Structure formats: C-alpha cells, structure tokens
Amino acid sequence: MKVITTPEEMQAISQQNKFEGKKIAVVPTMGFLHNGHLTLVKKAKEVADIVITTLFVNPKQFAPNEDFERYPRDFERDKKLLTESGCDYLFSPDISSIYPIDFATSISIGGVTKVFEGESRPTHFDGVALVVLKLFNITLADIGLFGQKDYQQTLVIKKLVKDLNLNIKLLITPTVREANGLAMSSRNRYLTDEEKNKASIIFLSLEEAKNAIAHGERRRKMINSVVISTLRSVPEIKIDYVATVKSENLELADEFLPGEEVVILIACFMNQTRLIDNTIIKIPTAFTENFIE
C-alpha cells in the first residue's frame, strides 16, 4: 500500500489508473479505523481494481463545541490495518492541502439535511458534502462506499451525486456491530466496557421496535414510544432524538402502509459520548396475531 499526502499526486495516480482501464473505489474515513471501515475496504476490493481509502478528519463538519480536537487519531495503526486489508492507496492529506488559506467555496444541500442530525448539528452536512465532493474529485473514483450506520449521511451523499450529476456509483453496506449489538464507531473508544454493555440497549430498542412492527404496529408515535421506553431503562442514556420515518426521504407519517419501507433513527448520549444507530424495516403486509402486549 502506498501513502499519498497531496491532492495533486493522488489525482495523477488515479488518472493513470483510469487510463489503464482500471476501476477505482474510494472509502472515505476520518481514521481510527474499526471493522466497519475494513468491511468497506474488503467490499471495495470485490467491486473495483484499485481501492483508495481516505483518512481526513474534516474540520468543516464539526461545530465549535464538538470534538474535532479530541477525535481519535492513530495513523500508524490505521496504516497497518489498511495494509493488511489489501488497500492499494491511503490518501491522508493535511488540512491546508484540502482547505488552503484562500479557500472560499461552500456547498449547501436542502431537504434531508434540515432534520434530525441537521437540527442537532446544523453545519454538519454542509461540511460532509463539501469534503466528499472534493474526495470524489481528487480520487476520480468510479465507486464510493459508505456504511448504513450514518444513514442520513448516505441520503445526503446520494442527493449530492444526483443533483450535481456526479459520475460515481454509491454502495451502502450494512452496519457492522459489536458482539452485543452496539454499532461500531470510532467514538466507541470513549466508552468504558461497562458503558459499552449499557449502550447495547440502543440495538435492543431497535429490535423491540422491529418486533412491534412485525406484530402489527403501524403508528409512528407508538413505534417511537417502544424505542424511547426501552432506552429509558438505562439511566445513563440521554436521548437526543428518536424518529421513525420513510426511508427514502425521512418524511413523517402518522401511520405507515403495508409494503412501505421505514427507517428508525436514534441519536443519544451514553454519558458524554454521542452515539447514533438505525434500522431499516419494510412494513409487512400481514402480522402475527398472537402478539402479547
């Protein structure tokens, strides 16, 4: 694996690979890699000839009160993991090469950016869209791979690609979880073992909601209440939001129709650490009659 640190060199390498007829896949990350990231890299190797993993902690997606400075970083560890995973190039630029001193461009995407994560973190998705567009342009990728854990982010990136007619295919892979169901995240390192065990209630709350839907629940507020009541069984959990919405556009509905696909979104704090998770569910056309309240 070769480490590239400048956009100019990365773009030149990508141009040469494309000239040779090779298909390029990019896995954008902010580093401190876990098995969720490595699963994306392995999937990228299946669908492309060249795999580029980007490692860049993007300051423009952090608000002033968020954890940019303390966001976990371990370059040598990440480099070792990517080498072992068969990644071809690690693109790890510094901030000044991505955002030079005279940088003056911004991107703003409406619609799906204005709710949930967008309400909690108003500048977040503009920063995500900006850096993802730059990384797509620098790597000249044919395929971009992202994880479902950041569900709303995947919708934002899909909107970016569609609205700007970007010539790139997106692959969204399922959330990778710890043995107890906790969604893998770089921020999990902030949690003690006890907190990780308690945070598994997030996954359990999603499973409880899926069970309620399987047994006939269709009302949005009731589905949300199942999640909320389960989360509240752990006092250390502070809920930011819980939302059950249509999966394609995050729209609300009082009641969901059979055959409709919904996503349940959760953002909460385990003590000081913010965690997100979700699950996608297709509303069944029939349900189990022997459901016990």
Which domains does the chain carry?
A: 2-173 (3.40.50.620), 186-279 (3.30.1300.10)
For residue 206, give the nearest of 278, 291, 154 by alpha carbon.
Answer: 278
Phi, psi dihedral angles at 56 (to 5 degrees): -155, 115
Residue with tokens 């141009």: 15
Query: Is the predicted pLDDT of residue 72 greater than 50, yes or no?
Result: yes
Supply the DSSP symbol for 255.
Answer: B
Residue with tokens 């010539």: 167
Query: Is the predicted pLDDT of residue 119 greater than 60, yes or no?
Result: yes
Query: Is the predicted pLDDT of residue 290 greater than 50, yes or no?
Result: no
More confident residue, 286 or 161: 161
Q: What predicted TM-score, i.e. pTM, was given to this entire model? A: 0.94
* pLDDT tens per residue, range 21-49: 999 999 999 999 999 999 999 999 999 99
Query: Is the predicted pLDDT of residue 293 greater than 70, yes or no?
Result: no
287 — pLDDT class (breaks 50, 70, 90): low
The first and second tokens of residue 239, run together, are 């809920």
Find all residues with CB under 8 Å of 219, minimum gap 6, and list them.
254, 255
Burial class of residue 187 in the structure, from the number of CB atoms within 10 Å of its CB (0-12 exposed, 13-18 middle, 19+ buried): middle
* pLDDT tens per residue, range 193-252: 999 999 999 999 999 999 999 999 999 999 999 999 999 999 999 999 999 999 999 999
N residues, the chain: 293
Q: Which of 34, 37, 124, 215 is labelled catalytic?
A: 37
Pairing of strands 2-4, 89-91: parallel
* pLDDT tens per residue, range 43-70: 999 999 999 999 999 999 998 888 899 8
Residues 230/279, Cβ–Cβ less than 8 Å: no
For residue 133, give the nearest of 177, 112, 173, 163 by alpha carbon.
Answer: 163
Residue with tokens 């979104």: 265
- Look at residue 64 in the predicted model and tell me its pLDDT: 86
Find all residues with CB under 8 Å of 175, minimum gap 6, and list them.
36, 147, 148, 149, 183, 184, 277, 278
Phi, psi dihedral angles at 283 (to 5 degrees): -65, 120
The H or E element containing residue 129 is: helix 124-139
Weakest mean pLDDT among 4-18, 57-71, 237-251, 255-269: 57-71
* pLDDT tens per residue, range 75-98: 999 999 999 999 999 999 999 999
101 — pLDDT class (breaks 50, 70, 90): very high
For residue 229, give the nearest of 245, 221, 253 by alpha carbon.
Answer: 221
Query: Is the predicted pLDDT of residue 106 greater than 70, yes or no?
Result: yes
Catalytic, 124? Answer: no
Weakest mean pLDDT among 16-25, 26-35, 112-121, 146-155: 112-121
For residue 183, give the amino acid letter.
Answer: A
* pLDDT tens per residue, range 121-142: 989 999 999 999 999 999 999 9
- Look at residue 67 in the predicted model and tell me its pLDDT: 85
In the chain, at which residue ranges do the beta strands (DSSP E only) sit?
2-4, 24-29, 50-55, 89-91, 143-147, 169-173, 237-246, 261-270, 273-282
Query: Is the predicted pLDDT of residue 100 greater than 50, yes or no?
Result: yes
The H or E element containing residue 78 is: helix 75-85
